[in-house]
Protein backbone atom coordinates (compact mmCIF):
# COMPACT_ATOMS: atom_id res chain seq x y z
CA UNK A 1 0.00 0.00 0.00
CA UNK A 2 1.22 3.49 -0.85
CA UNK A 3 0.90 5.00 2.62
CA UNK A 4 1.65 8.60 1.56
CA UNK A 5 -1.15 8.51 -1.01
CA UNK A 6 -3.61 7.23 1.58
CA UNK A 7 -2.40 9.78 4.14
CA UNK A 8 -3.19 12.53 1.65
CA UNK A 9 -6.76 11.24 1.47
CA UNK A 10 -6.85 11.02 5.26
CA UNK A 11 -5.71 14.65 5.60
CA UNK A 12 -8.35 15.91 3.19
CA UNK A 13 -11.09 13.91 4.94
CA UNK A 14 -9.96 15.21 8.35
CA UNK A 15 -10.08 18.77 7.01
CA UNK A 16 -13.49 18.41 5.34
CA UNK A 17 -15.15 16.23 7.99
CA UNK A 18 -17.25 14.64 5.27
CA UNK A 19 -16.69 11.78 2.80
CA UNK A 20 -18.82 13.57 0.22
CA UNK A 21 -16.87 16.84 0.49
CA UNK A 22 -13.54 15.00 0.49
CA UNK A 23 -14.50 13.18 -2.71
CA UNK A 24 -15.41 16.50 -4.36
CA UNK A 25 -12.15 18.09 -3.29
CA UNK A 26 -10.06 15.16 -4.56
CA UNK A 27 -12.10 14.72 -7.77
CA UNK A 28 -12.81 11.07 -7.08
CA UNK A 29 -15.72 8.91 -5.95
CA UNK A 30 -16.84 8.53 -2.35
CA UNK A 31 -16.11 4.76 -2.40
CA UNK A 32 -12.51 5.62 -3.35
CA UNK A 33 -12.21 7.76 -0.20
CA UNK A 34 -13.71 4.95 1.90
CA UNK A 35 -11.34 2.41 0.35
CA UNK A 36 -8.27 4.55 1.09
CA UNK A 37 -9.32 5.02 4.72
CA UNK A 38 -10.04 1.28 5.09
CA UNK A 39 -6.55 0.43 3.78
CA UNK A 40 -4.98 2.97 6.12
CA UNK A 41 -6.86 1.52 9.08
CA UNK A 42 -5.71 -1.98 8.09
CA UNK A 43 -2.15 -0.65 7.96
CA UNK A 44 -2.38 0.82 11.48
CA UNK A 45 -4.63 -2.03 12.68
CA UNK A 46 -7.01 0.39 14.40
CA UNK A 47 -10.04 2.58 13.73
CA UNK A 48 -9.06 6.06 12.61
CA UNK A 49 -12.41 7.54 11.46
CA UNK A 50 -15.87 7.20 12.99
CA UNK A 51 -18.92 7.97 10.86
CA UNK A 52 -21.62 9.88 12.70
CA UNK A 53 -24.39 10.48 10.20
CA UNK A 54 -22.87 12.52 7.38
CA UNK A 55 -19.91 13.58 9.52
CA UNK A 56 -16.53 11.90 9.74
CA UNK A 57 -14.86 12.27 13.14
CA UNK A 58 -11.35 11.27 14.15
CA UNK A 59 -10.78 8.68 16.85
CA UNK A 60 -8.02 9.20 19.41
CA UNK A 61 -5.73 7.12 17.20
CA UNK A 62 -6.86 9.16 14.19
CA UNK A 63 -5.74 12.37 15.94
CA UNK A 64 -2.27 10.87 16.42
CA UNK A 65 -2.03 9.90 12.75
CA UNK A 66 -3.25 13.39 11.76
CA UNK A 67 -0.48 15.05 13.75
CA UNK A 68 2.24 12.98 12.08
CA UNK A 69 0.64 13.23 8.64
CA UNK A 70 0.87 17.01 8.90
CA UNK A 71 4.51 16.78 9.91
CA UNK A 72 5.21 14.53 6.92
CA UNK A 73 3.52 17.05 4.62
CA UNK A 74 5.73 19.83 6.00
CA UNK A 75 8.85 17.69 5.61
CA UNK A 76 7.99 16.89 1.99
CA UNK A 77 7.44 20.58 1.23
CA UNK A 78 10.75 21.38 2.97
CA UNK A 79 12.57 18.73 0.95
CA UNK A 80 11.16 20.20 -2.28
CA UNK A 81 12.43 23.64 -1.28
CA UNK A 82 15.91 22.32 -0.47
CA UNK A 83 16.10 20.34 -3.72
CA UNK A 84 15.07 23.44 -5.65
CA UNK A 85 17.74 25.48 -3.89
CA UNK A 86 20.33 22.84 -4.78
CA UNK A 87 19.23 22.91 -8.43
CA UNK A 88 19.38 26.69 -8.47
CA UNK A 89 22.91 26.62 -7.12
CA UNK A 90 23.99 24.18 -9.83
CA UNK A 91 22.24 26.14 -12.57
CA UNK A 92 23.47 29.51 -11.19
CA UNK A 93 19.92 30.70 -10.66
CA UNK A 94 19.55 33.47 -8.09
CA UNK A 95 16.18 33.91 -6.38
CA UNK A 96 15.17 37.44 -5.42
CA UNK A 97 12.37 38.29 -3.01
CA UNK A 98 11.05 41.83 -3.33
CA UNK A 99 8.13 43.85 -2.04
CA UNK A 100 5.49 44.75 -4.63
CA UNK A 101 6.25 48.45 -4.20
CA UNK A 102 10.02 48.26 -4.73
CA UNK A 103 9.53 45.87 -7.62
CA UNK A 104 6.98 48.05 -9.42
CA UNK A 105 8.60 51.44 -9.01
CA UNK A 106 12.35 50.68 -8.93
CA UNK A 107 13.31 47.19 -10.03
CA UNK A 108 12.89 47.73 -13.76
CA UNK A 109 15.78 50.21 -13.76
CA UNK A 110 17.83 48.16 -11.31
CA UNK A 111 17.50 44.95 -13.35
CA UNK A 112 18.38 46.71 -16.60
CA UNK A 113 21.60 48.03 -15.07
CA UNK A 114 22.42 44.70 -13.40
CA UNK A 115 21.86 42.64 -16.53
CA UNK A 116 24.24 44.90 -18.41
CA UNK A 117 26.94 44.19 -15.83
CA UNK A 118 26.15 40.46 -15.35
CA UNK A 119 24.41 39.24 -18.53
CA UNK A 120 24.92 35.53 -17.81
CA UNK A 121 23.33 35.53 -14.35
CA UNK A 122 19.89 33.86 -14.27
CA UNK A 123 17.27 35.39 -11.97
CA UNK A 124 14.00 34.26 -10.44
CA UNK A 125 12.03 37.15 -8.96
CA UNK A 126 9.22 36.74 -6.44
CA UNK A 127 7.18 39.80 -5.49
CA UNK A 128 4.84 39.95 -2.50
CA UNK A 129 3.00 42.37 -0.26
CA UNK A 130 4.87 43.01 3.00
CA UNK A 131 2.90 40.46 5.04
CA UNK A 132 3.45 37.61 2.57
CA UNK A 133 7.10 38.52 2.07
CA UNK A 134 7.59 38.55 5.84
CA UNK A 135 6.03 35.06 6.02
CA UNK A 136 8.34 33.77 3.28
CA UNK A 137 11.35 35.06 5.22
CA UNK A 138 10.25 33.66 8.58
CA UNK A 139 9.43 30.27 7.01
CA UNK A 140 12.93 30.04 5.58
CA UNK A 141 11.99 30.32 1.92
CA UNK A 142 14.41 33.24 1.49
CA UNK A 143 17.58 34.38 3.26
CA UNK A 144 17.45 37.97 2.05
CA UNK A 145 14.86 40.34 0.60
CA UNK A 146 14.20 43.96 -0.37
CA UNK A 147 11.26 45.49 1.48
CA UNK A 148 10.03 48.35 3.70
CA UNK A 149 11.73 48.40 7.09
CA UNK A 150 9.20 48.56 9.90
CA UNK A 151 9.46 48.08 13.66
CA UNK A 152 9.00 44.31 13.39
CA UNK A 153 10.44 42.39 16.34
CA UNK A 154 10.06 38.94 14.75
CA UNK A 155 12.05 39.90 11.66
CA UNK A 156 14.60 41.80 13.74
CA UNK A 157 15.25 38.67 15.79
CA UNK A 158 16.28 36.66 12.71
CA UNK A 159 17.45 39.24 10.18
CA UNK A 160 19.90 42.13 9.98
CA UNK A 161 18.58 45.22 8.21
CA UNK A 162 20.51 47.45 5.81
CA UNK A 163 18.62 50.71 5.05
CA UNK A 164 18.76 51.68 1.37
CA UNK A 165 16.57 54.77 1.10
CA UNK A 166 14.00 56.84 2.94
CA UNK A 167 10.91 58.44 1.43
CA UNK A 168 7.98 60.49 2.53
CA UNK A 169 4.40 59.29 2.56
CA UNK A 170 2.88 62.37 0.94
CA UNK A 171 -0.72 63.46 1.43
CA UNK A 172 -2.55 63.47 -1.91
CA UNK A 173 -5.94 64.79 -3.04
CA UNK A 174 -7.78 65.05 -6.33
CA UNK A 175 -7.53 68.32 -8.34
CA UNK A 176 -11.24 68.91 -7.61
CA UNK A 177 -10.93 68.56 -3.82
CA UNK A 178 -12.08 71.60 -1.77
CA UNK A 179 -8.55 71.84 -0.32
CA UNK A 180 -6.91 72.18 -3.75
CA UNK A 181 -5.93 75.85 -3.18
CA UNK A 182 -4.72 75.40 0.40
CA UNK A 183 -1.05 75.90 1.29
CA UNK A 184 -1.24 73.98 4.57
CA UNK A 185 -3.65 71.58 6.30
CA UNK A 186 -4.00 71.02 10.05
CA UNK A 187 -4.68 67.66 11.68
CA UNK A 188 -7.93 68.82 13.29
CA UNK A 189 -9.38 69.43 9.82
CA UNK A 190 -9.44 65.69 9.08
CA UNK A 191 -12.67 65.24 11.04
CA UNK A 192 -15.26 63.64 8.75
CA UNK A 193 -12.65 63.35 5.98
CA UNK A 194 -12.28 59.99 4.20
CA UNK A 195 -8.75 58.59 4.18
CA UNK A 196 -7.96 55.57 2.04
CA UNK A 197 -5.52 53.10 3.60
CA UNK A 198 -3.37 50.37 1.99
CA UNK A 199 -3.30 46.77 3.20
CA UNK A 200 -0.06 47.27 5.17
CA UNK A 201 -0.96 47.15 8.89
CA UNK A 202 2.18 49.15 9.69
CA UNK A 203 1.23 52.10 7.46
CA UNK A 204 -2.37 51.94 8.66
CA UNK A 205 -1.45 52.03 12.34
CA UNK A 206 1.00 54.91 11.81
CA UNK A 207 -1.53 57.08 9.97
CA UNK A 208 -4.33 56.34 12.41
CA UNK A 209 -2.10 57.04 15.40
CA UNK A 210 -1.06 60.43 13.98
CA UNK A 211 -4.57 61.59 13.14
CA UNK A 212 -7.00 60.00 15.60
CA UNK A 213 -5.69 62.07 18.51
CA UNK A 214 -6.72 65.24 16.71
CA UNK A 215 -9.71 64.36 14.51
CA UNK A 216 -12.35 61.71 13.88
CA UNK A 217 -11.48 60.77 10.32
CA UNK A 218 -13.18 58.01 8.33
CA UNK A 219 -10.76 55.26 7.24
CA UNK A 220 -11.47 52.98 4.29
CA UNK A 221 -9.35 49.95 3.39
CA UNK A 222 -8.01 49.46 -0.14
CA UNK A 223 -5.96 46.59 -1.55
CA UNK A 224 -2.95 48.42 -3.04
CA UNK A 225 -1.44 51.76 -3.98
CA UNK A 226 -2.77 51.60 -7.56
CA UNK A 227 -6.37 51.20 -6.41
CA UNK A 228 -5.93 54.00 -3.88
CA UNK A 229 -4.57 56.39 -6.54
CA UNK A 230 -7.51 55.69 -8.83
CA UNK A 231 -9.96 56.19 -5.96
CA UNK A 232 -8.38 59.50 -4.94
CA UNK A 233 -8.54 60.72 -8.54
CA UNK A 234 -12.22 59.77 -8.59
CA UNK A 235 -12.84 61.88 -5.49
CA UNK A 236 -13.65 58.94 -3.19
CA UNK A 237 -11.17 60.07 -0.55
CA UNK A 238 -7.66 61.29 0.22
CA UNK A 239 -4.54 59.26 1.03
CA UNK A 240 -0.96 59.13 2.27
CA UNK A 241 1.19 57.35 -0.31
CA UNK A 242 4.93 56.86 -0.94
CA UNK A 243 6.23 59.68 -3.12
CA UNK A 244 7.52 57.43 -5.88
CA UNK A 245 4.09 55.79 -6.19
CA UNK A 246 2.48 59.14 -7.06
CA UNK A 247 5.39 60.91 -8.76
CA UNK A 248 3.90 60.61 -12.24
CA UNK A 249 0.41 61.74 -11.16
CA UNK A 250 1.85 64.75 -9.32
CA UNK A 251 3.95 65.79 -12.31
CA UNK A 252 0.95 65.59 -14.66
CA UNK A 253 -1.50 67.25 -12.24
CA UNK A 254 -3.71 64.19 -11.86
CA UNK A 255 -3.10 64.43 -8.11
CA UNK A 256 -2.11 67.27 -5.80
CA UNK A 257 -0.15 67.19 -2.56
CA UNK A 258 -0.41 69.55 0.41
CA UNK A 259 1.77 69.58 3.56
CA UNK A 260 0.20 68.75 6.92
CA UNK A 261 1.27 70.98 9.81
CA UNK A 262 3.48 69.13 12.34
CA UNK A 263 3.24 65.91 10.36
CA UNK A 264 5.83 64.24 8.17
CA UNK A 265 5.58 60.49 7.61
CA UNK A 266 8.92 58.95 6.61
CA UNK A 267 9.29 55.31 5.61
CA UNK A 268 12.59 53.47 5.36
CA UNK A 269 13.17 50.74 2.77
CA UNK A 270 16.06 48.36 2.65
CA UNK A 271 17.63 44.94 2.51
CA UNK A 272 17.27 42.29 5.21
CA UNK A 273 19.71 39.37 5.46
CA UNK A 274 19.34 36.35 7.71
CA UNK A 275 21.68 36.60 10.70
CA UNK A 276 24.82 34.55 10.13
CA UNK A 277 23.99 34.03 6.45
CA UNK A 278 26.93 34.41 4.08
CA UNK A 279 25.73 35.68 0.71
CA UNK A 280 27.05 34.02 -2.42
CA UNK A 281 29.24 36.08 -4.71
CA UNK A 282 26.31 36.60 -7.10
CA UNK A 283 23.99 37.67 -4.27
CA UNK A 284 26.62 39.99 -2.85
CA UNK A 285 27.17 41.62 -6.25
CA UNK A 286 23.45 42.10 -6.81
CA UNK A 287 22.94 43.69 -3.39
CA UNK A 288 25.88 45.97 -4.10
CA UNK A 289 24.30 47.06 -7.38
CA UNK A 290 21.03 47.84 -5.59
CA UNK A 291 22.80 49.91 -2.92
CA UNK A 292 24.69 51.83 -5.59
CA UNK A 293 21.46 52.52 -7.49
CA UNK A 294 19.65 54.01 -4.50
CA UNK A 295 22.71 55.95 -3.38
CA UNK A 296 22.82 57.66 -6.77
CA UNK A 297 19.06 57.92 -7.23
CA UNK A 298 18.44 59.76 -3.99
CA UNK A 299 21.21 62.26 -4.55
CA UNK A 300 19.22 63.76 -7.43
CA UNK A 301 17.18 66.89 -6.67
CA UNK A 302 13.44 66.31 -6.58
CA UNK A 303 11.34 67.95 -9.31
CA UNK A 304 8.86 70.68 -8.41
CA UNK A 305 5.40 69.22 -7.92
CA UNK A 306 1.91 70.63 -8.25
CA UNK A 307 1.37 72.13 -4.83
CA UNK A 308 4.87 71.75 -3.36
CA UNK A 309 8.19 69.93 -3.44
CA UNK A 310 8.08 66.92 -1.08
CA UNK A 311 11.13 65.60 0.71
CA UNK A 312 12.24 63.33 -2.10
CA UNK A 313 15.97 64.06 -1.97
CA UNK A 314 16.68 62.37 1.37
CA UNK A 315 20.25 60.97 1.14
CA UNK A 316 20.52 57.22 1.34
CA UNK A 317 22.34 55.96 4.44
CA UNK A 318 26.04 55.90 3.70
CA UNK A 319 25.72 58.16 0.65
CA UNK A 320 28.35 60.86 0.41
Instruction: Flag whether pLDDT at 304 surpasses 90.
Output: no
**Which of 155-159, 294-298, 303-307 shows the lowest per-residue confidence on average (mean pLDDT)?**
303-307
Q: For 163-318, where are the alpha helices, taking DSSP H only?
A: 201-212, 225-233, 243-252, 281-297
Instruction: Flag whether pLDDT at 311 surpasses 90.
Output: no
pLDDT number for residue 100? 94
Average pLDDT on 191-205 reads 91
- Tell me: domain 3-86, CATH 2.40.110.10, correct? no
Q: For the CA atoms of 275, 277, 278, 281, what is the dihedral angle to 10 degrees?
A: -110
Residue 235 contacts residue 258 (beta carbons within 8 Å): no
Q: How confident is the model at residue 88 (pLDDT cuts 50, 70, 90)?
A: low
Averaged confidence pLDDT in the chain: 87
User: For 258-301, how does the pLDDT look when each residue is reduced to its tens digit (9 = 90+)?
Assistant: 999 999 999 999 999 999 999 988 999 999 999 999 998 877 54
User: For 211-223, how does the pLDDT look when each residue is reduced to its tens digit (9 = 90+)?
Assistant: 988 888 999 999 8
User: For 11-28, how does the pLDDT look when each residue is reduced to its tens digit (9 = 90+)?
Assistant: 999 999 999 999 999 989
User: For 24-79, how does the pLDDT look when each residue is reduced to its tens digit (9 = 90+)?
Assistant: 999 899 999 999 999 999 999 999 999 888 899 999 999 999 999 999 988 888 88
Would you kindly state where each structural domain of the chain is located, as residue ranges?
3-86, 89-164+268-297, 167-266
Task: Report the phi/psi class of residue 192: left, alpha or beta, with left for phi > 0 and alpha for psi in -120 to 50.
Answer: left
Please tell me the distance from the alpha carbon of residue 122 to that of residue 282, in angstroms, as a whole number: 10
Q: Which residue has the higher pLDDT, 317 or 124?
A: 124
Instruction: Flag whether pLDDT at 102 surpasses 70.
Output: yes
Please tell me the distance from the alpha carbon of residue 161 to that of residue 268, in angstroms, as a whole number: 11
The maximal CA–CA distance of the chain, rounded, in angstroms, is 79
DSSP 8-state secondary structure symbol assigned to residue 103: I
Instruction: Flag whether pLDDT at 168 surpasses 70.
Output: yes
**pTM for the model:** 0.65
- The CATH superfamily holding the domain 167-266 is Periplasmic binding protein-like II (3.40.190.10)
Enter the CATH code of domain 89-164+268-297.
3.40.190.10
Q: Do 3-86 and 167-266 share a fold? A: no
Amino acid sequence: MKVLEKLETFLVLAECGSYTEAAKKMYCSQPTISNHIQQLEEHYQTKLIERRGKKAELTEQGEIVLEYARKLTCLIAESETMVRKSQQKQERIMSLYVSNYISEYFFGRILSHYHGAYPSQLLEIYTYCYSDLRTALLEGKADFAFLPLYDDSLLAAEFDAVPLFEEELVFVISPSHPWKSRKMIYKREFSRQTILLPSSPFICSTIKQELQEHAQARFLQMSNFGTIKQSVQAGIGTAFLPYEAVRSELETGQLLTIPIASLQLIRSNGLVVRKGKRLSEAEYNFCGQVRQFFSQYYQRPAPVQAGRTPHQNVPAPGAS
